Amino acid sequence: MRIVSANLNGVRSAANKGFFDWLQSSGADVVCVQELKAQLPDMSAAMLAPAGYHGFFHPAEKKGYSGVGIYCRRAPDRVVEGLGIADIDAEGRYLRADFGQLSVISLYLPSGSSSEERQQVKFSFLERFMPHMRALIAEGREVIVCGDWNIAHQPIDLKNWKGNLKNSGFLPEERAWLSELFGHGWVDVWRTLYPEAPGYTWWSNRGQAYAKDVGWRIDYHISTRGIAAQAQAGSIYKDIKFSDHAPLTIDYAGAL
């Protein structure tokens, strides 16, 4: 079972750069995408339902902003759009698909880097999302939350960690929130598979960050323990640059 997480930084832009051609050759069973920056009428038939895949989406109300989606070979038993929290759902940040006893979620956690106001929005999201994550554990299902979490957890997760101790994405409060999450039974799948591999998935467009691999690991598969134990291998695709993020693939034992 191959599951991919990819922040597209605009589905139309990523399509023009060959993302959907790559999707066809990826072997992915489920692809969680973030930052659609489009609403359904803006998306072509190939974006809505690529050959061999079903497509489901939770766009933001604001045009050209945020939005998440899930592409899957098997039709889900159930799809849940949003968290049921009005201000969060207006930004299109959460989409869940259930396949038997497995739930796969596409998440786009807010960034706080643009302003102090947005950082407070991020903190508010984190405060309200933790109880939801605890409730997911309590459901007793296997769950994989894929997406752009906009937080690097440990110094290994970003190249210039000393210079970012006071910056959004590596603030002590954000990192402590992730630590608390992992303390409640959630597993960072990449870090479990590869304790010493940085695994960067995002690079600033400033300077030569991508060329010099001055990156951040902010895209994750965060899962319940049972399915995390089934993870076999992971990879980050950098051969073609579809976005300022790179697709993160994890292979799990068993079939969807």
Distance, in Å, from the CA atom of 142 to the CA atom of 157, rounded to the nearest integer, reads 26
The residues that are catalytic are 148
- Tokens read off for 117: 């106001």
Return the amino acid letter for 185.
G
Handedness of CA 145, 148, 149, 153 (dihedral sign): positive
133 phi and psi, to 5 degrees?
-65, -35
Other Cβ atoms closer than 10 A to 66: 20
Pairing relation of β-strands 186-188 and 219-224? antiparallel
Cα–Cα–Cα angle for 25, 221, 194, rounded to 5 degrees = 90
